[in-house]
Amino acid sequence: MSGYEQPGMVEFERAATLAPQPLIDPFGRSITYLRVSVTDRCDFRCVYCMAEDMTFLPKANILSLEELDRLCSAFVAKGVRKLRLTGGEPLVRRGIMTLVASLARHLRSGALDELTLTTNGSQLHRYAADLAAHGVRRINVSLDTLDPAKFRTVTRWGDLDKVLDGIKAAQAAGLAIKINAVALKGVNEDEFETLVRWAHGEGMDLTFIEVMPLGDIGEGRLDQYLPLSMVRARLAERFTLDEIDYRTGGPARYVRVAETGGRLGFITPLTHNFCESCNRVRVTCTGTLFMCLGQEDAADLRSALRASEGNDLLYAAIDEAITRKPRGHDFVIDRRHKRPALARHMSVTGG
């Protein structure tokens, strides 16, 4: 009827117009996975990740826990289904369980499929039970060696026994664990079979990762770099590696090890990149959005976050940034590229 609107219809249509739109990049990929660094600080100084004498960001530059909650929630409203908290080491952030507890509401509402984190395991003995209580079901633990002396050398400050105790606490709390191990030439390449048998024997998945050329760490990247094609070939001499169609939403490609029954993943940003199916973006603890781990292009979300109590500016900033998500990264390690591919450290962007 002319001049007549059903009660509430105008308000409904206005709300629909303002509702956050899903994130689709220029190549048609849906962005459903957000990795958020809650701090650039860490209680380790792993030789492939940080310099020994790191200068960390001033605390005034870091988003508050409330701001991190609001930012993550904005992405959830725009279709992100998986949220991973990273660092630095996320569990050294003061009050981190407050953030986890708040974000858990999106699990209860069904808006989020998974809330998880990547940790070095040093603080797991303190927080494993709380993580499980807040709906975290699985975590990644970074562990490159089972040799205590070698572990101390790789991490510079770490205590292997403390990490192993944390893993036990996480398992006791019911958390599924995936071990991430960086393949380091001349450091842990004699342990790959041992790591496979140990992880699978403890009921954990294992993923090997190639060194990524991020940040000046005072070490030669080429000296550390070991192609996972070589790692896989060596393991294939000891195990039967059966291809499987298993995905966690991340970049790993998995096989099943017939002799152990466990899953083994390979993350190969250098020898075979995983860009074609990329569904992820990363936000730093300062509110900087990196559309690609291997590119410098970024967007400032902190300004939009702090410019208004509403989220319209934040949504607009996220939308604009996603239009600039590239097809893939430019990681290179060879004799001609002695400098890191990117100046920022892995601890800044998040693991």
Confidence class of residue 329 from pLDDT cuts 50, 70 and 90? low
Task: Over range 270-285, report the average pLDDT.
Answer: 77
Residues 6 or more apart whose Cβ sits within 8 Å of residue 143: 120, 121, 163, 167, 179, 180, 181
Q: Which two tokens stand for residue 271?
A: 């020898």
Q: Are 92 and 43 in contact (CB under 8 A)?
A: yes
In DSSP terms, which residues pair with 140 in a beta bridge? 118, 178
Tell me the backbone φ, ψ of residue 98, rounded to 5 degrees: -65, -40
Q: What is the mean pLDDT of the chain?
A: 86
Residue 104, number of CB atoms within 10 A of its CB: 17
Q: The pTM is what?
A: 0.85
Q: Does residue 274 contact residue 264 with C-beta atoms inside 8 Å?
A: no
Specify whether the CB–CB gap between 289 and 267 falls below 8 A: no
Contact 97, 66 (CB under 8 A): no
Asked if 33 and 346 count as a contact pair (C-beta separation under 8 A), the reply is no
Confidence of residue 277 (pLDDT cuts 50, 70, 90): confident
At 59, is the pLDDT very low, low, confident or very high (cuts 50, 70, 90)?
Answer: confident
298: three-class secondary structure by DSSP: strand
What's CA 261's distance to the chain center, in Å? 26
Set out the domains of the chain in order of their start, with CATH numbers: 24-349 (3.20.20.70)
Reduce the secondary structure of 133-163 to three states and give it as a string. HCCCCEEEEECCCCCHHHHHHHHCCCCHHHH
Beta bridge partners of 141: 119, 179
The distance between the two most distant Cα atoms of the chain, rounded to a whole number of Å, is 82
Q: Which tokens belong to 139?
A: 């975590």
- DSSP conformation letters of 56-111: PPPGGGSPPHHHHHHHHHHHHHTT--EEEEESS-GGGSTTHHHHHHHHHHHHHHTS
Residue 3: per-residue pLDDT: 43
Model confidence pLDDT, tens digit, residues 222-261: 577 899 999 999 999 999 999 999 887 677 889 999 999 9
Q: List, in order, residues 6 or more apart from 297 with CB less than 8 Å away.
A: 290, 291, 324, 326
**What pLDDT does 225 receive?**
85
Calculated CA dihedral for residues 25, 83, 291, 253, nearest 10 degrees: -80
